[in-house]
Amino acid sequence: MINTENYLQVIIQDCLQELNLLPDKIQVYLDIPQDSRFGDFTTNVAMQLSRQLKKPPREIASSLIDSIKQHLPKSPLKDYIKEIKVEGAGFINFYFNDSFFYHELEEIISKGNNALKVDFGKGKKVLIEFVSANPTGPLSVAHARQAAVGDALAEIFNFLGYSAAREYYLNDEGNQINILGRSVQLRLKELKGERIEFPEDHYQGDYIYDIAREIIDKKIEVKDFSEYAANYILEIIRKELDDFGVKFDTWFSQKALGKSGEVERTLEELKKRGYIYEEDGAVWFKSTALGDDKDRVVIKSDKSYTYLTPDIAYHQEKYRRGFAWLINLWGPDHHGYINRLKASVAAFGKPAGSLSIIIVQLATIFREGKPVQMSTRRGQYITLREVLEEVGRDAARYFFIMRRTSSHLDFDLDVAKKQSSENPVYYIQYAYARISSILREAKENAVSGKPELSLLKEKEEIELIKKLCQFPDMLNICLNTQDPYMVTVYLQALAEDFHKFYDLHRVLGEDKKLTAARLALLSATQTVIATGLKLLGVSRPEKM
């Protein structure tokens, strides 16, 4: 498809240069106006310039438009721009010919989803680390949301020309794992009839009994209870994620990192760079020099590491593997940890923008209009497994993504189960199935020949085509915000435009040429909906 935004930007930059209007002081932004009566593209560049030039914005806009019109014949857009107008306070609005949209539609029809791809990434290696839950219990809904968001994000990055990998950082050593091992051991004794005292900070969940029971039933010799239990739970987690449709490229073991000697080498390097000092019998990382509000202990007075220490090494290791952009999805309880990790990245001279940390806000599960209470301490919380069993993969994935990732999410199980317009997943899938149904029928009646797209003149047809053309722009927003939720907003609006069209205009009719054109429009719509749903990991049912 034509990168309109880019071409317009080039023209405007050239015009600013020519008119000597401070071209290097201004960033030209082009937007698709929210309201279509303001054209197909708009820029506020004249208003931005107004202050510096001390001239009214409309006056600047007019002279700019004159200049743009002179440049236009040299641009690939020359045949597609119908009008350029100054409107409102000084907006420059671009109005496109319908032929532009027919051209774009033709691209989607002939190239399928390849037409929707824009190579923003140019193969840049991105590592998206998410979930990374300790293997000490089943995954919660908090992890579930991270899984859905992270997976969709990786799909979007790959679609846009990045080389994105999904990684799970496995916290398979340390205190929590030791406690897990002891928890299993204690339950084992209990099951064998011993009287035990089960400490409050140990894992209370029933799954600990399950592990212990299996050890008894299968008469398993366990040498290392921590390792055994962690592996056992890890298998459960893998299976859960697999059923959720999330596949990781790598499972990075903290234990293996520890054995590799990387942690020591990293500390050594930090010391060389002057960010290490000793105090109170501990070794500290001088993170305050790099934007943190406190210095951080990296070696405790008992000579063991804090959680941060291997994590610093881990992130350097990511860079060493050739990743140029690291994206971490964390729960809100970790936001206080952002600055110290960023400080560590800065200590090694990595650019600040190369590590992005996205806080995935929690989801509150509602059942029968009431929040389901959660308490990890008592081992009672809603697991990914339960949500998956109750509402299915499609609804679960969609619902976890459909709000801005940084916003708290209310997840209503009853709505997610509904097969009605209340449930956005069904609304979108229904549009897809409806199109499939019509295309099936059309196949039987075999309408052939190259469609004349210019026959699509109805208001609803034009609206639908324009919406299809906005797909790449929408993905660009996802990229800039590192958030897939805009895909859900877009798909809902697209499904709505399709349903409106469908309701007013008959596709399979007497007029063969019109039928062919409308079938082509439907096929393009199907491609776009399918592409969007696929990015979210939601299925595309031909029939419902």
Site for RNA in 356-385 (CB under 7 A): 361
Measure Cα distances from 210 to 195, 206, 214, 230, 531 in Å.
Answer: 18, 7, 6, 13, 42
Cβ 492 to RNA shortest distance, Å: 6
Q: Which is nearer to RNA, 232 or 427 (CB)?
A: 427
Residues recorded for the chain = 544
Cβ 75 to RNA shortest distance, Å: 21
Which one-letter DSSP state was computed for residue 281?
A: T
Hey, CA dihedral for 479, 484, 486, 488, is it positive or negative? positive
Q: Does 507 engage in binding with RNA (CB under 7 A)?
A: yes
Cβ 93 to RNA shortest distance, Å: 5
CA–CA separation, 364 and 412 (whole Å): 8
Tokens linked to 377: 């301490």
Q: Which is nearer to RNA, 135 or 165 (CB)?
A: 135
Q: Which is nearer to RNA, 42 or 482 (CB)?
A: 42
Phi/psi for 541 (5° steps) reads -75, 130
Q: Which is nearer to RNA, 188 or 311 (CB)?
A: 311
How many chain residues bind RNA (CB under 7 A)?
Answer: 84
Region near RNA per CB under 7 A, out of 242-250, 445-453, 488-496, 529-537:
488-496
CA–CA separation, 245 and 61 (whole Å): 51
Q: Does 261 engage in binding with RNA (CB under 7 A)?
A: no
Quick note: the x/- pattern for RNA over 330-349, rule CB under 7 A, is: --xxxxxx------------
Cβ 136 to RNA shortest distance, Å: 8
In 368-421, DSSP assigns E strands to 370-371, 409-412
Q: Does 206 engage in binding with RNA (CB under 7 A)?
A: no
Q: Which is nearer to RNA, 324 or 379 (CB)?
A: 379
Tokens linked to 333: 């309880």
The label of the residue with tokens 């293996």 reads 256
Find the binding residues for RNA in span 262-281 (CB under 7 A). Answer: 279-281
Q: Which is nearer to RNA, 145 or 296 (CB)?
A: 296
The 3-state DSSP class for residue 330 equals: strand
Residue 201: other Cβ atoms inside 10 A: 10
Tokens linked to 486: 């805009």
Q: Which is nearer to RNA, 99 or 406 (CB)?
A: 406
Phi and psi based region of residue 209 (left: phi greater than 0; alpha: psi -120 to 50; beta: remaining): alpha
Contact 339, 347 (CB under 8 A): no
Q: Which is nearer to RNA, 125 or 182 (CB)?
A: 182
Spacing of C-alpha 74 from chain mean position:
38
Q: Does 525 engage in binding with RNA (CB under 7 A)?
A: no
Q: Write the single-letter amino acid at 123.
A: G
Q: Which residues pair with 85 in a beta bridge?
A: 93
Q: Which is nearer to RNA, 25 or 335 (CB)?
A: 335
Region near RNA per CB under 7 A, out of 210-218, 264-272, 342-350, 407-415:
407-415
Q: Which residues does 232 contact at the CB level (< 8 Å), separation at least 6?
A: 211, 214
Q: Which residues pair with 166 in a beta bridge?
A: 128
Contact 399, 411 (CB under 8 A): yes
Residue selected from 71, 117, 500, 540 as contacting RNA according to rule CB under 7 A: 500
Region near RNA per CB under 7 A, out of 31-39, 59-67, 100-108, 205-213:
31-39
Region near RNA per CB under 7 A, out of 35-43, 59-67, 151-159, 447-455:
35-43
Residue selected from 36, 110, 260, 421 as contacting RNA according to rule CB under 7 A: 421
Cβ 339 to RNA shortest distance, Å: 8
Contact 120, 161 (CB under 8 A): yes
Residue selected from 505, 534, 539, 540 as contacting RNA according to rule CB under 7 A: 505
Q: Which is nearer to RNA, 215 or 518 (CB)?
A: 518
Quick note: the x/- pattern for RNA over 92-131, rule CB under 7 A, is: -x--------------------------------------
Q: Does 3 engage in binding with RNA (CB under 7 A)?
A: no
The 3-state DSSP class for residue 368 equals: coil
Q: Does 506 engage in binding with RNA (CB under 7 A)?
A: yes
The label of the residue with tokens 């930007």 reads 9
Residue selected from 79, 242, 249, 542 as contacting RNA according to rule CB under 7 A: 542
Find the binding residues for RNA in span 43-82 (CB under 7 A). Answer: 44, 47-48, 50-51, 57
Find the binding residues for RNA in span 452-481 (CB under 7 A). Answer: 477
Do the bridges between strand 325-330 and strand 355-359 make them parallel or antiparallel, or are there none, so unpaired?
parallel
- Give the HSE-up count for residue 214: Cα atoms under 13 Å, Cβ half-sphere: 12
Tokens linked to 302: 């008992």
Residue 218: other Cβ atoms inside 10 A: 7
Q: Which is nearer to RNA, 323 or 501 (CB)?
A: 501
In DSSP notation, 523-538 reads HHHHHHHHHHHHHHT-
Find the binding residues for RNA in span 296-335 (CB under 7 A). Answer: 296-297, 300-302, 304-308, 332-335
Quick note: the x/- pattern for RNA over 152-191, rule CB under 7 A, is: -------------------x--xxx---------------
Q: Does 532 engage in binding with RNA (CB under 7 A)?
A: no
The label of the residue with tokens 């201004």 reads 26
